[in-house]
A and B are shown apart, each in its own frame.
Chain A
Amino acid sequence: MLENLLISINYFPYKEKEHKKIKQGFLLLRIIILSIFSTVLFTIETKAQTTEDVIMMNKKQWCNGLTYSYNSWSSYWEGTYKRTNDNIGIVSAQSVMFMSNYGIKNNLNVMVGLPWVSTKATAGTLQGLNGLQDISLAVKWKALTKKFAKGKISLFGVGELTTPTSNYVIDFLPLSIGLGSTNISAKLIANYQQKFLNIRLAGTYAWRSNVSLDRTAYYTTQIIYSNKVNMPNVANYNLAVGIHKKYLLVDAFVNNMTTLGGFDMRKNDMPFVSNTMNSTNIGVSSKYTLPSNTHISFVGAVSQVIAGRNVGQATSFTVGCFYANSFAHKVKSQSIK
């Protein structure tokens, strides 16, 4: 039963009772956080883990929620050199993100997310910025499940598009609210479940569009006479090991983001959008579904960057609340009429 809930295998959804399906729906979004912010330290990458987890909405189930994240750092890596900077002090970013997940089919979900981000530096004169960042649209497909005697392996494919919702300034790192590129990413997730134990491995390749600056020339490792910046693509790897029980899921994870190109900040230089931003962070995420009202669930996560390059050594916290319901019953009634 738990396996069903977690991996949401439901080959014969219409044969199951309605309440059971709704329960599966509660699990919904196990949102969180790997990377809200902490991955791209110099900017803020609001990336919910929704597309990363292995929980699927059943057909016509819908889950909506809000998360709040806070991320801050005082040390950062200038290339490989780790330092602090009294002219920025502690740089922090807060974000409030709306997320929604809908089950088109039991094995095909669509998701939408949109964060509002606000940045701040505690020292120096630079002004914090805020605004709506990038909207993300994702399709998650549970392609395959294979059962063994002791456990079960599932394979997922996720396609995601993120694009800025406004023309926010990108050339003001580390206080810009984002990097401004439109990203198309493909993710593969393999999940192994055995009783309460869950192991998940995910790999993502993100293609990033070029971005435009407000100025007409800039220096990377040479001068470029253009306002266009070539954004290197990004690879992301994630391993999560956790206990998944009926109402409580807890995962420990390690996440690595590697920019496939770009260049290092030079000594005492400002960060730049196409820097090689790499980071490895570790953390814990959890989700709790109210036993008394399984429509409602809460999420929380903590993570810490442990290694990086051209990013801040960020500590991140996220909390969130989700509400799930199902249209399946309503639709059925309508069809009877």
Chain B
Amino acid sequence: MKKILIVTISTLIIISFPFIYSCNKNVTNRTADLPALNPSSTDMNAGTWKTMLLTRPDTFAVAAPIAVTAPNYIAELNEVKGYQKNATDEQLAKVKYWSAGGVLRWNEILRGLVAKYNLPPYQNPDGTYPIPSANNPFAYPLFPFANPPYAARAYAYVTAAQYDALVACWYYKNKYNRPAPYKTDTTITAYVTKSSLPSYPSEAAVLAGVTSEMMLLLFPGESSNIQQLAVEQEQAAITSGTATRSDITAGEALGKQIADAFIARARTDKAGSAVGTPTDWANFVTTANSRGETPWYSLETPKRPPMLPLFGNVKSLLIDSATVVSLRPGPPPSTSSDQMKKETQEVYDYVQNPSRDNIRIVQFWADGVGTYAPPGHWNAIAAEDFINLNFSEVRWANNLALLNVTLMDAAIVCWNTKYYYFNPRPCQLNPAIKTLTGVPNFPSYISGHSTFSGAAAALLSFVVPSNATKYNQMAQEASISRLMGGIHYRSDCSTGLQVGQNVGGYAIARAKIDGAH
């Protein structure tokens, strides 16, 4: 009896031990607990900064706000007080979450959506592949397949629209100069860092409006979730003491109008036809053959059509199509050349008995299926550095827009090059090469990671010069990781990196004249 007791008790102790520790197993996001944004400058002149798409900051009119002494405004202030008085811990947690910066939070959310949708469709029973449809986003395959070019364009459109919308927002803030609720009524608590930034229209609502509207285009299956987040952001702005209802209403309307301008542009940028047709796909093979080169083929079974082969024709937000062609590098080594044999051998050597550190580098930069893709990785790198730089919302948006516009250009130039040369992957030329990450389903030359990373590092080095060495080292590592992983030749990587840097130069040139830098 005694023994049974001992066994039971000790077993229970042993079993409960893990439960005690399981409380500590929760994994939290690195940015979950950031302090409120604390801009070193309100950037009150941002209404004069050069916009990405809009021709003027006041293209869309915002009516003058009512006076802060008007009875209706007093009522709005009381509404703020009411929300503050009844705020639950959960609501205050939302206030804290959004106070770290709306541009940052939406960027994190967007990266999450890309990761969620970055899954290649499963084949049909007959060995063909279904193509996601924007008109039917909930049916399998879900729309979109947020692959690297799609992702690059999504990041660019969202951040560029946010930037233009905030420039317009700042224009009206400066024009109408309505003080924040916590300034007008000192009994209102500021759950954010106090500043002299005018409240009308609310920058939180501008962001909520512009971003949720852009999602209708880019992630139509997510619009209800996004709408909920937008409402949450606006609610948090009111509860935080930074905006009243009229600030919110004006901001959301402005944001949505500007988003619509971007959506109209996006519908005509040729991304919709980037999938190409079977005739297009066959033409790439014919062209490569006519040059005497071994054409690329899909290494998937069943063979998958190449990823967005006409993405190289997509209209950039920054450069024209002639510039895209001028940025396209010369050809890779001929597939039958000694140089190509040498480079293929080098890939083979890299994947034989790879060191753990090489595998770490491959994994760190893999950014493949189910991830936020290479452009998202550079957004993460940028955002986590920007957190420490005390940017205003509009400066955050400016820098992320520049980054993403250049990343989209990198995608355009890279894809243009890939399908111009239609060069095979290393493991097509030598099937003995086994890779340490998935082989992307598009031609080898030039490396997408290298092009993205070259462009991002160039732009970020301009934005944060003190980090230039770090960004360039990261770009080098991202680039070489593709050789280490067995999926790119050295010339794909080195040329890609150079082309990326050249692409980044255009965004830098733009940054120099946009009034923000």
- A residues sitting closer than 8 Å to B (CB atoms) are 86-87, 123-128, 143-144, 155, 157, 159, 166-169, 171-172, 184, 186, 188, 205, 207, 209-210, 213-219, 222-226, 228-231, 233, 266-270
Contact = CB atoms under 8 A, between A and B. Distances in A.
B485 to A, nearest CB: 9
For the complex of A and B, the 8 pairs showing the least CB-CB separation, nearest first, are: A207-B18, A223-B112, A127-B434, A214-B363, A86-B301, A219-B115, A186-B14, A225-B29
Contacts of A168: 356
A186 B30 contact: no
Given A225-B30, A225-B108, A217 B372 contact: yes
A179 B119 CA distance: 23
A230 B25 contact: yes
B364 interface: yes
A267 B367 CA distance: 18
A125 B434 CA distance: 5
A239 to B, nearest CB: 19
Nearest to B4: A144
A224 B11 contact: no
Given A125-B433, A217-B371, A224 B119 contact: no
A160 B11 CA distance: 13
A168 B436 CA distance: 13
B124 interface: no
Contact of A270 (B301, B370, B372, B434): B370
Nearest to B13: A186
5 contacts: A123-B301, A126-B434, A144-B7, A215-B363, A267-B122
Contact of A144 (B3, B17, B367): B3
Nearest to B356: A167
Contact of B119 (A222, A223, A226, A266): A266
A249 to B, nearest CB: 25
A210 B356 contact: no
A269 B142 CA distance: 13
Contacts of B363: 169, 171-172, 213-215
A125 B10 CA distance: 50
A336 to B, nearest CB: 34
Contacts of A228: 27
Contacts of A123: 301
A316 B10 CA distance: 35
Contacts of A143: 3, 6-7
B119 A267 contact: yes
Contacts of A226: 27-30
B369 interface: yes
Nearest to A171: B363
Contacts of A159: 14
Interface in B414-439: 427, 433-436, 438-439
A335 B360 CA distance: 55
Given A127-B486, A222-B116, A268-B119, 18 more contacts: A87-B301, A126-B438, A143-B7, A157-B7, A157-B11, A166-B356, A169-B356, A184-B17, A186-B11, A223-B372, A224-B27, A233-B18, A266-B370, A267-B122, A267-B140, A269-B119, A269-B370, A270-B369
A126 B351 CA distance: 11
B33 to A, nearest CB: 12
Contacts, number: 131
Nearest to B368: A270
B380 A125 contact: no
B302 interface: yes
B364 A214 contact: yes
Given A86-B302, A225-B29, A125 B435 contact: yes
B108 A207 contact: no
A229 B25 CA distance: 9
Nearest to A78: B122
A168 B354 CA distance: 12
Interface centre among A86, A155, A186 (most CB of B within 10 A): A186
A214 B7 contact: no
Nearest to B18: A207
Interface centre among B4, B22, B111, B433 (most CB of A within 10 A): B22
Contacts of B299: 124-125
B380 A217 contact: yes
Contact of A215 (B30, B364, B436): B364
B131 interface: no
Contacts of B435: 125-127
A276 B293 CA distance: 46
A40 to B, nearest CB: 19
Nearest to A266: B119
Interface in B123-160: 140
A219 B112 contact: yes
B15 A186 contact: yes
A127 B367 CA distance: 18
Contacts of A219: 112, 115-116, 370-371
A180 B371 CA distance: 21
Interface centre among B18, B22, B435 (most CB of A within 10 A): B18
A212 B372 CA distance: 18
B192 interface: no
Contacts of A125: 299, 427, 433-435, 438-439, 486
A210 B119 contact: no
A210 B301 contact: no
Given A127-B436, A268-B122, A184 B7 contact: no
Contacts of A229: 27
A33 B417 CA distance: 54
A223 B111 contact: yes
A222 B112 contact: yes
Contacts of A144: 3-4, 7
